[in-house]
Amino acid sequence: MYTYALKKQNFELVYFDAFAGTGSIDIGPSNSDEAQADLLADVEDVGPIIDGSAKRALKVERPFDKYIFVEANRSKATELNGLRGEFPELAHRIFVRQGDANAELIAFCRNTNWRRTRAVVFLDPFGSQTGWDTVCEIARTKAIDLWYLFPSMLCVYRQISREGKLSPDKEASIKWLIGTDDWRAEWIATEKQEDLFGNVRSVSEKQVSVDEVTKYMIHRMRAEFKGGVLDSWLPLGPKGRHWYSLIFAWGNPSGKASALTTSLATHVMRRS
């Protein structure tokens, strides 16, 4: 959809996959990561091996001008390099970088000529690997459309107990993801209670849902992305559970770009 929509525009169009894996995903019974196997159990592809996001991007009918695939694991990055052999006609457009997704994304944002370039960035971390500063750096380009599989339940909601308690490490992890501590006032209710002997103690309770965590993140992102952030999101997870929220944001503030981007993103969400 992107490559066709922008085919008449004089931009270099880049697809950036920050957690590219190997290009394929093992969803068979031999997969040692049971959580990931469960997460992908309902994918429609037949067989234990399905195409990952990198390979799917390379298969689009009208290709991107450049593909940047980032993978922290060295052996997986080596497998990614093998995609040049599978797609020889696109070999010169494929760039594989073995390294930290945040560092690679920030370097890409800062070192690209955005007057001549537009990009689609796909962030699908399995956990809390994506920092808020990275999201802000993407927004500052005003030229990137971001698809972010935000770990709303896995790395935010379930880190807070029913009693509104969490360890310093978990609190720091949430701040890393969303860039602030202000959520505490909204998500944790605290009241004073007096027992029969007149002793007063503070009692806390979690008062947030996974949907509300997602809305909070969208609100945070909307302050950074001058184009906008889609109000709707796609809840994803195994067996209908809401583990992740697929959020879409765009940086270009022009009205024409916003109208086109919103239309494309809404259609993608509905198709999914």
What does the pLDDT read at residue 98?
95
d(CA 53, CA 59): 10
pTM for the model stands at: 0.85
Residues of the chain with pLDDT below 50 are 30-37, 39-47
pLDDT at 210: 97
In the chain, where the domains are located? 2-161+209-271
- Looking at CATH, the fold of the domain delimited by 2-161+209-271 is given as Rossmann fold (3.40.50)
Closest CA to 233 of 252, 218, 221, 251: 218
Residue 183: other Cβ atoms inside 10 A: 20
pLDDT at residue 27, as a whole number:
61
> Are the C-beta atoms of 51 and 103 separated by less than 8 Å?
no
pLDDT of residue 41: 45
